[in-house]
Amino acid sequence: MADLARLNEVIEPEANALGFELVRVKMVPSEAGDGGEALQIMAEDPKTGQLIIEQCAALSRRVSERIDELEEQGEVLIEGAYHLEVSSPGIDRPLTRAKDFENWAGHEAKVSMAKGYDGQRNYKGELKGLEGDLVVIEDAKAGEAKLPRDQIHSAKLVLTDALIAATQPLDTSGADDIEEEKADD
């Protein structure tokens, strides 16, 4: 088991040093089919709200080096084998920080509350923003709901035409430079 709070403490300064903001750090089952886990890091360049491939690679190298350095000093951050995945949050991004709930107000979101939350568990509707530490959402069934941020298990934007229109286009620099090679017969 990995200590996500400690991983955040280690990873956030590395992202910040590159000019990025950390969106989420999470351990997930590996897609490699080996039964292992993946350390999933989502970050964004605050100027664009995304990371391009070169930025993901730079953050991946920096985080790998820092984790290796700490392990050489005897600190085990993640038990067992794992894969490192660094990505941009994407259009239907997770909402993890207070500013995410403010910045994306007016868009449709899905919010799942933590187990043990007293009330409805899943909400879907227009995100209204924050009131103090309460996330306000206009749920399609329950009407306006005010949810304590610390009780949210997960929250993400729903892909809609309005969200696509409001999102900055992905960086396509270099896309015109792609050359196809023909295989020799």
Q: What is the DSSP string of 27-76?
A: EEE-TTSSS-EEEEEEEEBTTTTB--HHHHHHHHHHHHHHHHHHHHTT--
- Please name which of 19, 62, 75, 20 lies closest in space to residue 42, comparing C-alpha atoms: 20
Q: Which two tokens stand for residue 73?
A: 């000093």
Query: What is the structure's pLDDT at 30?
Result: 76
Burial group, residue 147, by CB count within 10 angstroms (0-12, 13-18, 19+): buried
Burial class (CB in 10 A: 0-12, 13-18, 19+), 98: middle
- 98-166: what CATH class? mainly beta
Query: To the nearest whole number, what is the mean pLDDT of the chain?
Result: 88
Residue 96 and residue 153 in contact, taking contact as beta carbons nearer than 8 Å: no
Pick the range with the lowest mean pLDDT from 58-67, 103-112, 134-143, 158-167: 158-167
* CATH 3.30.300.70 boundaries in the chain: 4-87
pLDDT given for residue 170 in this prediction? 54
Distances (CA, A) of 154 to 22, 66, 68, 147, 172: 16, 28, 30, 12, 30
Three-state DSSP class for residue 139: strand
Q: Is the pLDDT of residue 185 over 60?
A: no
Percent above pLDDT 90 for the chain: 68
* Residue in the block written with tokens 């360049």: 45
The tens digit of pLDDT for each residue in 7-48 reads 999 999 999 999 999 999 999 887 766 667 899 999 999 998
What tens digit of pLDDT does each residue of 74-97 get?
999 998 888 999 999 988 899 999
The pLDDT score that the predictor gives to residue 175 is: 45
Which class is 4-87 in CATH? alpha beta
pTM to 2 decimal places: 0.80
pLDDT of residue 36: 79
Residue with more model confidence, 176 or 46: 46
What letter would DSSP give residue 109?
A: E
Range(s) of the chain covered by CATH 2.30.30.180 = 98-166
